[in-house]
Amino acid sequence: MSVYGLTFKGIDQVKGPLVIMRGVPGAAYEEVVRIYSEDGREWFGQVLEAGRDKVVIQVLGDTEGLDSNAMVKFTGSTLKIPVSDEMLGRVFNGAGEPIDGGPKIRADDYRDINGAPINPAKRDYPDEFIETGISAIDGMLSLVRGQKLPIFSESGLPHNEVAAQVARQAIVPGKAERFSIVFAAVGLKYDDVLFFRRQFEEFGALSRSVLFLNLANDPVIERITTPRVALTAAEYLAFDLGMDVLVIITDMTNYCEALRELSSAREEVPSRKGYPGYMYSDLASIYERAGRIIGRPGSITFMPILTMPGGDLTHPIPDLTGYITEGQIFLDLDLHNRGIYPPINVLPSLSRLMKDGIGPGKTREDHKEVSDQLYAAYSQGTKARELVQIVGEAGLSPREKLYLEFARRFEREFVAQGFRERRNIEETLNIAWDILSILPEAELTRISEKTLNKFHPKRRIAAQAEGE
Amino acid sequence: MSELVYESKGIIVHIKGPVVEAEGMRGAKIREVVYVGEERLIGEIVRIEGDKAIIQVYEPTGGVKAGEPVERTGEPLSAELGPGLLGQVLDGLGRPLEVIAEKAGGPFITRGIKAPTLPRDKKWQWTPLVKPGDDVVAGDVLGTVPEGSVTHKIMLPPTIEKAKVIEVLPEGDYTIEEPVVVVEHIGGKEEVKMYHKWPVRTPRPFKEKLAPVELLVTGQRVIDTFFPIVKGGTSAVPGGFGTGKTVTLHQISKWADADVVVYVGCGERGNEMTDLLHTFPKLVDPKSGKPLLERSVLIANTSNMPVPAREASIFMGITYAEYYRDMGLHVVLTADSTSRWAEALRELSSRLEEIPSERGYPAYLPDYIASFYERAGRIKVRGRRDELGSVAVIGAVSPSGGDLNEPVTQHTMRYVGAFWALDKDLAFKRHFPSINWLRSFSKYTGGLKEWWIKNTGHDMMAYRDKAMDLLQRASSLEEVARVVGEAALSDENRLVLLSAELIKEGFLVQNAYHEVDTYCSPKKQALLLKTLLEFYDRARPIIDAGVPISRIAEMKSLGLLRRLKFVPEEEFENAVKEAIAQLEAEISSLLAEVR
Ligand SMILES: Nc1ncnc2c1ncn2[C@@H]1O[C@H](COP(=O)(O)OP(=O)(O)O)[C@@H](O)[C@H]1O
Ligand SMILES: [Mg+2]
C-alpha cells in the first residue's frame, strides 16, 4: 500500500519549511519527495511524520512560492547521493549536485546520506600518529589517523589558516600516500571558501579533494544535509576505495543554528538556549562517522571547525561537541591579540587519542612525559601571570618568576610558528626540552629519572663531559 | 486477496521518529515487546489508549509506512541469563555485536536483526549438585558450569518458588537449550535449562539487604583513601567533557577487586568501546589469572546507535549484574553516561508530549534515577545457602555546560553514597583524576577504619583526616595568595602550601597511563600517604628554628618524595626508607646552618 511513484496534487498547509498533506496513507517515514509548483519550480523534501491521516514533509530550500496547488511526488527512497571516484576534484552543493559546470557523476553506487552506525565491535582502534608539523598539536594534542578533533574558535581568529596548514602538512610518517580531502562549507562566506580553494590549489591537493559548498546565501535547510553528504562521500573514499581522508567541515555552528531553526519550525520543546534536546545525538550521528574499520585500509580523520558564540566554551554548541569528539583544539583570542600564531591555548585543549598514538616506535619515548610536564608548567606560568596583574612582578616569589618566564618562552618559541613552517616531531620535542630546562629539576615531577638522564639538555652535556 | 490477520497483530497508523502508533492492539500490555513493520523492528509498548498502542521502536524507522503490521510477543523486554554472558560485547538490547556484524554482512549496523544474547551451540561442562527426590527452592544451586573466570551457578529461577527434583542430567557437556534438570511443582512438571529470561525493569529478588562495609579496592588513591566506595555501594562521577569520567570508569573496571564487571557504554564514543575491547583481552585479572575480558560483560550502545536503546541498555546491564550477584559474587557495574540515558528518557517523553518539568525532563526523572541506583546493594542471596553477593553501581554524569546544578546531577546526588566531583580547572592543569577534594564526598569512610587497619596495618582514615586538613588549610591560604601573592605569606603558611602541593603531586595525581602508577595497592597507598605527611611534621619545627622556606623547598628529598608513587610495589619499602633518610639528612644540615 505504498504511495511510491505516485504523484499527488494539492497540499493542505505550508508552515515555514514544513508541508502538511492529508489523505496520503502510504507515505514512508523519511522518504524523499519532490514537489513541483505550477510555474515549474522544484523542491526536495523528506517525510518527517508519516500518518494514515496526516503526512508532514520537511522541505529543503526556501518554501517561498509553494502553494496549495503544488504537486508532490513520492520517491519511495531515503535521501541518497551517487558516489564514485569521479567525485575527486569536483565541487558540489549541499545536496550533492555538481556546481562546477562539469558533468554528472557516473554513479558507482547510491548511498543514504545518513549512513549507518559503525558496529563498535568492528572499529579498529586509531593509534597511528599524524605529523601535522605544528608543535602545539604534535607535541601536546597529537592527532591520530581516524580521530575526530575539532577546532574550537571565535570569529576573527585564524581557524581557516590552522585547518589549511594541517591539510597541507599532515602526513602519517612512513606512509607515502597523502591525505585526500573532503571539504564542506556550511553557511560560509564566499571569501572563506575561496581561501581554502586557493590553498588546496597551491599545494596541489585539488585533484585529490572533493568540495561541498553551502554558502551563506544558500538555503539554510541544506546546511542540515551538507555535512551528511560530505561524510557519505568520505565514507566511500575511505572504506570502499581505501583512501586516508581528511574531512574539514566549517562552520559547524551554522549547522547547529540551522538545526535550531528547524526544530523551532517544528514547534518542538527546546532544551538549552533553544537548541533541540536531541542535538547531542544528532551531532553524534555526524561525528561518529569518523574512524577506522577492521579489515579495511582507509580512514576518516575529521577536523570540523566551529565558532563558539561569545567565545563561551560552555555554550551548548561547543559543549555538546566536546562531549562527542575525541578532544578539541582551542584557539584563544588573547594569544591571537598578542600576535601568537597559531593561537592554540593548550590548557583547555585535549586530544583523547594521543596516548596510544605516541611513544617509542611511533614518536619518541619521552613524548608523553614531556607533554605532561609542559601542561603542568604552563598552567603554573599562567597562574603566575594572573598574579602579576594583582601584585605586580615584584610581588612574585622567585619560583613564580621562573614559571612566568617559562610561560612566555613556551608561547613565543613552542606554540608560535609560521604558517608555512613545518616542524617534525624531533624538532618539536627538542624545543620543549630547551624551554623545560630553565626549570629546576625538582620541578620536573612528571618526568622520570630515566627520561631526564637521556633527554635533559643539562644532563646530556654533563654525561658528554664525563665521557670525554 | 484476503490475508489472515492474527488477533495479536495490529496496524501502524502513524510514525514519527522512534515513536509509532498502532491500532488493533486490544489486550496488549504496557512494556510488552512488539515487532514493528515488515522488517519486524524491535519495539516496546510505552502507552495504551483504548485499542491503540504507542510504541517506542529500538531501531531506526526510516521507510516504515502506515498500514504495516505490528506483531505482539506477549513478553516484556527481558534479559537472557545463563552461561555465555562473560566476555560478550552486546548492544543495548542484549544482541551480540559480533553476531550483528555477521548477519549484517559488514561493519555497519543494519535493521531488523534478531540475535539471542547467549550462544545456543556452545557446550558447557555441567556438574550437577542435586539428585532426583531433592526438594529445592528458588535460588538453590542445581549445578555449576565453569564460565570465564567464575564458577557459574545454575540456580532454580525466581519464577519457581518451590519444587521437587525429578530428573537430573549426569555430569557432561550440554548446550543451554538442554533441560539439565526437571522439577515438579504445584503447576506440574517443568524443565529447567541453564538459562532463563528476566524482565529487565524488574529488580531480581533477594533475601535481605545488608549495610555495605567492605572497601571496593579500585587501586585509585584519591578514591580508595579519600572518597571510597564499598562493595554494594553507589557512586556518581559528574564532570564536564574532558574531565576524566570515562578514564575513571575504565580504571575501575580494570582494577576493581570484583568477581564480575558489567560496563555499560550508553550514548558515548565508539572508540572508547574499541579501546576496552583492545585492552581487556590483554590485561590479566589478578584474582583468576585470566584475561580481564573473561570477567566482564560489555554493553555498547554508542551515541550514534538508536537513542531508545540507550534507555534499555542500563536496565539490561543492571539485570546481568544482579544475576551474578545472586550466585554470591561481587559485581561492579559502571555506566557511561547516565546523562545520555536520562536524555533518552527526555526525548521519549517529549515525543509523547508529556508535560516537561525542569530543563525538559519529565517530572518522574528522580524516581527513574532512583530505580537504577536502588538496584545496587549487598545482599543475602536467595535459596538455602548462606551467601552474600553485591552489586556496586558507578555512574558517570555529563552535566551540560559542566554545571553541577542541572537536574540529572542533582537528583543523582541524592541517591548515591559517594560523589566524585570532577573539576575542569584541575583537568586543564592535567591534575588527574580531577576529583575535587573539597566538593566530593563519600558516606562510607566512617565504616572503613577497621578495614584499613586489618588489611594494611595502618590507621589510614586518620592519615586521611590529617591530609584533608592540610589540603583545606592550603585552599584557604591560596585564596589569600591570589590577592597578595605567595611571597607575602609567612614561611609557616608557605610550608602548608608546599606540603599540600606534595600531597597533590605525590598522592592525589595518578597517571592512568603509567605502568606502575596506574594501580596502587591499599598497602602502598597507606605507606605513601604516611610518608608524605612526615614531610610536614619534620619540616614544621625547623621553620620555627629559623630555616627559610626557600631552603626547604630546594631539598632534593622533596623530589624523591614527589616521585615515590612511581616506584613499583616490590621496591617501595626500600625507596621510602631512602627518601626518609635523605630527608632527615637534609633537615639536619639545614638546622646546622642556622645554628
Ligand atoms: N587518571 C588519568 N590519568 C591520565 N590521564 C587522564 C586521567 N584521567 C583523564 N585523563 C586524560 O583526560 C582525557 C579525558 O578523559 P575522559 O575520561 O575521556 O573525560 P570525560 O569522559 O570526562 O570526557 C583523557 O583522554 C586523558 O588524556
Ligand atoms: Mg567520557
The whole-angstrom separation of Cα B326 and Cα B322 is 6
Q: Outline where DSSP puts E strands in B255-412.
A: 260-266, 296-301, 330-336, 377-380, 388-397
Mean pLDDT score, B481-504: 91
- Is B553 at the interface with chain A, CB within 8 A? yes
Q: Which long-range contacts (CB under 8 A, 24 or more apart) does A366-369 make?
A: A366/A429, A366/A447, A366/A451, A366/A454, A366/A455, A367/A139, A367/A142, A367/A425, A367/A429, A368/B513, A369/A446, A369/A447, A369/A448, A369/A451
Residue A368 clears pLDDT 80, i.e. is over it: yes
Question: What is the overall mean pLDDT for chain B?
Answer: 94
How far apart CA A109 and CA A405 sit, in angstroms, is 59
- pLDDT per position as a tens digit, A150-192: 999 999 999 999 999 999 999 998 887 889 999 999 999 999 9
Distance A346 CA to ligand 1 centre (A): 15
SS3 B168: strand
B61 interface with A at CB cutoff 8 Å: yes
Asked if the model's pLDDT at residue B5 lies above 50, the reply is: no
The predicted pLDDT at position A43 comes to 87
**Residue A450: how many CB atoms within 10 A of its CB?**
11
B518 close to ligand 1 (CB < 6 Angstrom) = no
Does the Cβ of B246 fall within 6 Å of ligand 1? yes
Which of A78, A120, A350 shows the shortest C-beta gap to B63? A78
In the structure, what pLDDT confidence band is assigned to residue B12 with cuts at 50, 70 and 90? Answer: very high
Q: Which residues pair with A301 in a beta bridge?
A: A246
Q: How is domain B90-117+218-443 classified at the architecture level of CATH?
A: 3-Layer(aba) Sandwich (3.40)
DSSP SS3 for A185 = strand
Contacts A316 to B, Cβ<8 Å: 400-401
Q: What is the pTM of this model?
A: 0.95
How would residue B93 be classed by pLDDT, with cut points 50, 70 and 90?
Answer: very high
Distance of CA B483 to the CA centre of its chain: 42
SS3 assignment, position B557? helix
Q: How far is the CA of B452 from the centre of ligand 1 (A)?
A: 28
pLDDT tens digit sequence for B343-354: 999 988 988 888
Nearest CA to ligand 1 atom 24: A352
Q: Is the peptide bond before A457 cis (omega within 30 degrees of 0)?
A: no
Q: Cβ atoms within 10 A of the Cβ of B368, count?
A: 15
Contacts with B562 from chain A: Cβ below 8 Å: 442, 445
Res. B7 pLDDT band, cuts 50 70 90: low
Which are the contacts of A161, defined by CB distance < 8 A and separation ≥ 6? A341, A342, A419
- CA nearest B108 in A: which residue? A118
A186 touches A223 (CB < 8 A)? yes
Q: How far is B408 from chain A (nearest CA, A)?
A: 14
pLDDT at B3: 38
Nearest CA to A284 out of B442, B301, B424, B235 is that of B301
Predicted local confidence at residue A17, as pLDDT: 82
- Nearest alpha carbon to residue B331 among B390, B396, B287, B418: B390
- The distance from CA A85 to its chain's CA centroid, rounded to whole angstroms, is 23
Sequential DSSP letters for B369-409? HHHHHTT-EEEE-SSSS--EEEEEEEEEE--GGG-TTSHHH
Q: Give domain limits for chain B.
A: 9-76, 90-117+218-443, 124-194, 455-594
pLDDT band at A452 (very low <50, low <70, confident <90, very high): very high
Distances (CA, A) of A13 to A16, A254, A421: 10, 28, 58
pLDDT of residue B4: 39
The distance from CA A340 to its chain's CA centroid, rounded to whole angstroms, is: 22
**Residue A154: its pLDDT value, please?**
96
Distance from C-alpha of B538 to C-alpha of B494, rounded to nearest angstrom: 15
Q: Which amino acid is at A90?
A: R
- What span, in angstroms and rounded, lies between the C-alpha atoms of A461 and B9? 83
**Residue B287 above 90 pLDDT?**
no
Question: Per CATH, which fold does B124-194 belong to?
Answer: OB fold (Dihydrolipoamide Acetyltransferase, E2P) (2.40.50)
Specify the 3-state DSSP secondary structure of B190: strand
CA of A171 to the centre of ligand 1 (A): 26
Mark yes or no for CB contact B400/A118 under 8 Å: no
Residue B245 CA to ligand 2 centre (angstroms): 5
**Nearest by Cα to B161 from B179, B186, B192:** B186
**Residue A243: in which H helix or E strand, if any?**
none
Answer yes or no: is pLDDT of A463 > 80.
no
Q: Do B242 and A352 touch (CB under 8 A)?
A: yes
Identify residues whose C-beta is under 5 A from ligand 2, the ion. B 245-246
Interface residue B108 vs chain A (CB under 8 A): yes
DSSP characters over B121-152: S--EEEEE---TT-EEETT-EEEEEEETTEEE
Closest by CA position to A211, among listed A185, A242, A246: A185
Which single residue is written with the C-alpha cell 500500500?
A1
Q: What's the pLDDT at A467?
A: 64
Whether residues B303 and A272 touch (CB distance < 8 A) is answered with: no
Sketch out chain A's domains with CATH numbers.
7-78 (2.40.10.170), 81-357 (3.40.50.12240), 367-467 (no CATH)
Return the C-alpha torsion angle B434, B438, B443, B447, nearest 10.
Answer: 90
Q: Is the CB of B244 under 6 A from ligand 1?
A: yes
Q: B9-76 has which CATH code? A: 2.40.30.20
CATH 3.65.10.10 matches B455-594 = no
Asked if B65 and A391 come within 8 Å (Cβ–Cβ), the reply is no
Ligand 1 atom index nearest CA of B434: 8
